[in-house]
C-alpha cells in the first residue's frame, strides 16, 4: 500500500514504488468525495503501459491516535492518511475472503483486483467532472462491497496492474488493439452480467467497444471479455487536455505561468452490472480502461544526393505517410523533420534484447546539427544533438534532440 504523493495536479514521478504494477497506489479525497488539492497525479501509460494511482480514499482531516498523548487524537491530511485508510479497507476485505489467502502470487492479485473493482464511486471536481484514472484510479474504495464480492476481474495483458491499459498508442495508419479481461467467480453461485464501456474522456478519433455485452460466469469458473480500441482514421486525432487538469505549470514566466505539457487521454470504464438484480444482489463491478493516443508518421529518408554546383548542399528524399493538418495551437498537428550530421556509432551491443528499459539507454548513433549557417549573426545559432538508442516500445530506434 503506497501513498501516491502530495504534489497536487502535477505528476509525482518520484513516488516509486507506487509506479510498480504490484503495489496499490492511493490518492486522497475529502469526505465529500472530492479530490484533495494536494493529491498527485500518477504516471500516464508511457512507462510499460502503467497508470497510477489505483484507488482513492479519504485523506483530508483524518483523526487518529496522537503519539505520546495517552487518549488524545490528532488530525492530519495527506496521501499518507489515505493509504492507511485503504489498508484498513483491505483488512476488512481479507476478513471476508479468508479462503483466498492461498499464499501464492494469485492471492495478491485477487485482493488488489477486488479492491479496485468495487471502488465504484467516482471522485468529482467542483464542476461535477469525473477525474482521470491518472488522478484518482478506479474510484473511492468501498469496504462493504469489497468484503462481499466473490467476483473479480483483471486485464490479462497488463499483469498485476489490473487496469486495462493500452499505454501510448502511436497511430500512423488505421489500427485496432485489444485487451482480454478475465472475470473470476470464486463463489458458490453463478452470476450473469451486462457488460458495457462507459466513456469518461473521449479523445477525438478513438473508440472503444466491449464483447460480449452479456455473459454468465459459473461458480468457481471464469469468463472472458474483450475490450477493443479502434482508430479508423488517424487524421481525426487531436491533442486535447483533460478538463480537470490545470493548463499551466506552477513556474512563472514574467507575469504569466508557463503552459504545461500533457498527453491526450482516452479514458473510460468497463462496467459489469448484474443482469437480474431482483434475484442477484452481487455488487456492481468495474475496471479502468486507458489509452494515450498519439498521431504518428512513417517516414523513410533516402541517401542524400549531391548533384548541384555546391558540393556542401544536397537533397534528401522523404517517403512514407505524414500528416499536415493545421495549426498546433488548435490541437492539430504539423510534422517536423530535422537532419543531423552523423558523428559516431557505438558498435557494442551487448544489452539483452528483452531488457527494453536498459536498451532505451543503450546509445546506437550520435549526430549533431546547427542552424548557424542560415543566420546573419552566426553567434545566435543553436547547436542540436540527437541520440538514437537501441530500445523503444514502438520502434527499434527512438531519436531525440536537445
Choose among 352, 343, 358, 354: nearest CA to 389: 358
Structural domains of the chain, with CATH: 2-65+76-295 (2.60.40.2310), 298-401 (no CATH)
Grid coordinates representing 293? 493516443
pLDDT tens digits, one per residue of 89-121: 999 999 999 899 887 778 999 999 999 999 999
Q: Which residues contact 193 (CB under 8 A, 6 or more apart)?
A: 183, 214, 215, 216, 217, 272, 273, 274, 275, 285
pLDDT grade, residue 390 (50/70/90)? Answer: confident
pLDDT tens digits, one per residue of 185-223: 999 999 999 999 999 888 999 999 999 999 999 999 999
Distances in Å between the Cα of 317 and the Cα atoms of 300, 301, 314, 339, 377 are: 8, 6, 10, 12, 30
Distance of alpha carbon 202 from the chain centroid: 15
127, pLDDT greater than 50: yes
Q: Which residues contact 356 (CB under 8 A, 6 or more apart)?
A: 391, 392, 393
What does the mean pLDDT of the chain come to? 86
Strand partners for 35: 29
Q: For residues 291 and 342, what is the distance between their CA atoms, to the nearest angstrom?
A: 35
- Structural element, H or E, at residue 105: helix 105-117
Q: Is 287 exposed, middle or buried (0-12, 13-18, 19+ CB in 10 A)?
A: buried
C-beta separation of 206 from 231 below 8 A:
yes
- Structural element, H or E, at residue 225: strand 222-231
Which residue in the block uniquely carries the three cell numbers 494511482?
53
pLDDT tens digits, one per residue of 173-182: 999 999 999 9
Amino acid at each position: 500500500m503506497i501513498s501516491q504523493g502530495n504534489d497536487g495536479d502535477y505528476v509525482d514521478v518520484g513516488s516509486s514504488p507506487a509506479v510498480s504494477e504490484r503495489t496499490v497506489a492511493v490518492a486522497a479525497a475529502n469526505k465529500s468525495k472530492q479530490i484533495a488539492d494536494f493529491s498527485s497525479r500518477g504516471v500516464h501509460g508511457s512507462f510499460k503501459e502503467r497508470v497510477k494511482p489505483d484507488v482513492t480514499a479519504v485523506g483530508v482531516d483524518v483523526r487518529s491516535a496522537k503519539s505520546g498523548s495517552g487518549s488524545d487524537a490528532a488530525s492530519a491530511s495527506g496521501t499518507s492518511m489515505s493509504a492507511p485508510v485503504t489498508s484498513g479497507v483491505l483488512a476488512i476485505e481479507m476478513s471476508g475472503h479468508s479462503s483466498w489467502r492461498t499464499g501464492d502470487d494469485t492471492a495478491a492479485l485477487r485482493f488488489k483486483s477486488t479492491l479496485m473493482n468495487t471502488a465504484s464511486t467516482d471522485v468529482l471536481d467542483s464542476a461535477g467532472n469525473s477525474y482521470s484514472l491518472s488522478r484518482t484510479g478506479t474510484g473511492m474504495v468501498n469496504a462493504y462491497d469489497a468484503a462481499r464480492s466473490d467476483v473479480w476481474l483483471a486485464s490479462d495483458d497488463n499483469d498485476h496492474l489490473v487496469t486495462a491499459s493500452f499505454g501510448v498508442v502511436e497511430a500512423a495508419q488505421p489500427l485496432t488493439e485489444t485487451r482480454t479481461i478475465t472475470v473470476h467467480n470464486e463463489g458458490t453461485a453463478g452470476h450473469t452480467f451486462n457488460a458495457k464501456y462507459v466513456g469518461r474522456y473521449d479523445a477525438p478519433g478513438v473508440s472503444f467497444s466491449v464483447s460480449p455485452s452479456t455473459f454468465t460466469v459459473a461458480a468457481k469458473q471464469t469468463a472472458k471479455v474483450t475490450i477493443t480500441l479502434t482508430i479508423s482514421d488517424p487524421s481525426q486525432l487531436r491533442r486535447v487536455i483533460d478538463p480537470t487538469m490545470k493548463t499551466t505549470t506552477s513556474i512563472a514566466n514574467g507575469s504569466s505561468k508557463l503552459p504545461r505539457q500533457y498527453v491526450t487521454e482516452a479514458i473510460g470504464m468497463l462496467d459489469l452490472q448484474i443482469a437480474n438484480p431482483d434475484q442477484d444482489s452481487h455488487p456492481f463491478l468495474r475496471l479502468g480502461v486507458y489509452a494515450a493516443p498519439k498521431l504518428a508518421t512513417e517516414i523513410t529518408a533516402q541517401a542524400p544526393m549531391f548533384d548541384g554546383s555546391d558540393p556542401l548542399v544536397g537533397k534528401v528524399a522523404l517517403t512514407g505517410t505524414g500528416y499536415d493538418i493545421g495549426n498546433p495551437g488548435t490541437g492539430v498537428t504539423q510534422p517536423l523533420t530535422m537532419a543531423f550530421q552523423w558523428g559516431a556509432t557505438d558498435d557494442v551491443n551487448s544489452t539483452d534484447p528483452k531488457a527494453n528499459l536498459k536498451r532505451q539507454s543503450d546509445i546506437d548513433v550520435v549526430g549533431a546539427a546547427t542552424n548557424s549557417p542560415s543566420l546573419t549573426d552566426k553567434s545566435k545559432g543553436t547547436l542540436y544533438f540527437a541520440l538514437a538508442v537501441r530500445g523503444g516500445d514502438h520502434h527499434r530506434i527512438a531519436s531525440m534532440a536537445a
